[in-house]
Chains A and B, each alone.
Chain A
Amino acid sequence: NAGVMQNPRHLVRRRGQEARLRCSPMKGHSHVYWYRQLPEEGLKFMVYLQKENIIDESGMPKERFSAEFPKEGPSILRIQQVVRGDSAAYFCASSRDSGGKTGEQYFGPGTRLTVT
């Protein structure tokens, strides 16, 4: 049973370019979460999605960031016009349920974004 998959593992973008980060949840999981880890910090919640719906995007910057989880295919975190401050590790997690004892989140390996 494959775990949560993220690609690319490393992404380098110049300032002003777009970054697209992909996440395929574990089989049977319909809940996806994105977290960001800035250097020397813990992970911070960004957004929670279910298939075709954004449930909570309270942790996502209002400008330039967007997320989707289409009916078919992976979840995408998109960052437009990247700036140096966007350099971070972006982790995706998935769960079978939301909350409760069965809401355990399994993390992917992360995508490390470097903006030059």
Chain B
Amino acid sequence: AQKITQTQPGMFVQEKEAVTLDCTYDTSDQSYGLFWYKQPSSGEMIFLIYQGSYDEQNATEGRYSLNFQKARKSANLVISASQLGDSAMYFCAMRGLNDYKLSFGAGTTVTVRA
């Protein structure tokens, strides 16, 4: 079984600043993948970034980077140079590498202020 914890229900960030969204997880799997999704007010789920548990380097995708600390079981998302369009709900998720079920956290709402 897997468990994802996102402890920040909501955050405010100033435009152009960076924001870090926390995610901790618990799993008995040796190999697993960690994902972050963005859900804007329109409701769709947009894949942002993926980190494999055996990847040696932290994943980056444009302004998104994943701060992966395996020993601490944390996979925080960093959004650099925030834009107004980044205002959304953000979900951390994981699955065992040979599994198919994604387990999601409760999400963090980010509001970017001009």
Contact = CB atoms under 8 A, between A and B. Distances in A.
Interface in A50-98: 56, 59, 89, 91, 93, 95, 98
Nearest to A95: B100
B11 interface: no
Given A89-B43, A107-B44, A110-B43, A42 B107 contact: yes
The bracket for how many chain B residues form the interface is: 20 to 34
Contacts, number: 64
A45 B102 contact: yes
The bracket for how many chain A residues form the interface is: 20 to 34
Interface string B18-49: 00000000000000010001000001110100
Interface of B: 4, 33, 37, 43-45, 47, 50, 52, 91, 93, 95-107
11 contacts: A35-B104, A41-B106, A41-B107, A42-B107, A43-B102, A44-B104, A89-B43, A99-B100, A100-B98, A106-B47, A112-B43
